[in-house]
Amino acid sequence: MEEFHCMNHPDRAAVHQCTRCGKPLCDECYNPEMQTCRAYCNNPATASTVEPQQPQPKNTFWQIVVALLAIVGALALLLAAICGAMIYSY
Ligand SMILES: [Zn+2]
Ligand SMILES: [Zn+2]
Predicted confidence at residue 39, as pLDDT, reads 85
**89 burial type by CB count under 10 A (0-12 exposed, 13-18 middle, 19+ buried):** exposed
Q: How far apart are CA 70 and CA 63, in angstroms?
A: 10
Predicted confidence at residue 88, as pLDDT, reads 82
* Cα-to-centroid distance, 42 and ligand 1 (Å): 7
* Cα-to-centroid distance, 9 and ligand 1 (Å): 14
Give 43-87 pLDDT, tens digit per residue: 655 444 545 566 566 788 899 999 999 999 999 999 999 999 888
